[in-house]
Amino acid sequence: MTDSNPPLWDIEGRQLRSRLLLGTARYPSLAVLQQAIVASGAEIVTVSLRRESATERAGNRFWSTIKAMGVQVLPNTAGCKTVKEAVTTAEMGREIFETSWLKLEVIGDDYTLQPHPFLLVEAAEELCRRGFEVFPYTTEDMVVAERLIQAGCSILMPWGAPIGSGQGLNNPYALRTLRARYPDIALIVDAGIGKPSHAIAAMEMGFDGVLVNTAVARATDPVQMGRAFGLAVESGRLAYLAGAMPVQEMAEPSTPVTGTPFWHQS
């Protein structure tokens, strides 16, 4: 990766340069996950406490591997459906992973895995009161975003599409509107990203980062796909900072023709 990107955040004294967040579920092996993290350049990885605690031995091996890599762990309340469940899981995550960072999920629909807007806000309020740095997984809904900010969240994670669907950015208009409405809030597109081009599109809109899991973990070559996403996020960010040309209806020649001599063979 180049050194052209400025740090993403300064949280708890940690400067983070990569704007790619990587999920850690569904990889074929722990070794492949480790290689994919390195190849992607990601400095933040999400971890589902409920999954990694399924067996104590597997959980300990996973945690020791991640800890040795020096990346920032973002515990995740994946699978939680109630405020109480989310808060309890968050407290366990803070103790085990030694961080107050938290990706908050409160799922309201089993089919789409869409966040439950009312319970999400309630859980965010409680967790912010308890001193967590809450990264709420939400939809692109503007009203919910405002309530989450009022609850104390300085970072929002709107979905691009349903989790694991690979559909990309289903509602680019709403995402652009959200970005324009909250220029000073860190916005990370989470869920539904299927290809590096989807990540580029999000970053070109001015989003601060992208979280990817399934698209890397389930690729034929997760390590190469991790690298592809790392480059895509960096490319999209650079394009946003450079300022893309405006879209227009009519053609405009790239080479001026007025007053330009033409050469021809006689």
Among all chains, which residue has been given the structure tokens 């994946």?
78
Q: Is 243 annotated as a binding residue?
A: no
Cα separation of 13 and 4, whole Å? Answer: 21
Q: Are 118 and 100 in contact (CB under 8 A)?
A: no
- Which H or E element spans position 87? helix 83-97
Among all chains, which residue has been given the structure tokens 């989470």?
190
Q: Is 68 annotated as a binding residue?
A: no
Cα separation of 57 and 65, whole Å? Answer: 12
Q: Helices 83-97 and 117-129: crossing angle, nearest 10°?
A: 40
Cα separation of 209 and 193, whole Å? Answer: 12
- Which H or E element spans position 229? helix 222-242
Q: Is 213 annotated as a binding residue?
A: yes
Q: Are 171 and 139 in contact (CB under 8 A)?
A: no
Q: Tell me 204's DSSP state.
A: H
Give yes or no: 195 in active site: no
B/e letters for 21-38, b = 16+ CB within 10 Å, e = fewer, are bbbbbebeeeebbbbbbe
Select which of 81, 84, 103, 195 is catalytic.
103
Cα separation of 264 and 83, whole Å? Answer: 76
In 3-state terms, what secondary structure has residue 248?
A: coil
Q: Is 242 annotated as a binding residue?
A: no
Q: Is 201 annotated as a binding residue?
A: no
**Residues forming the annotated binding site for 1-deoxy-D-xylulose 5-phosphate?**
164, 191-192, 213-214
Q: Binding-site residues, please?
A: 164, 191-192, 213-214
Catalytic residues: 103
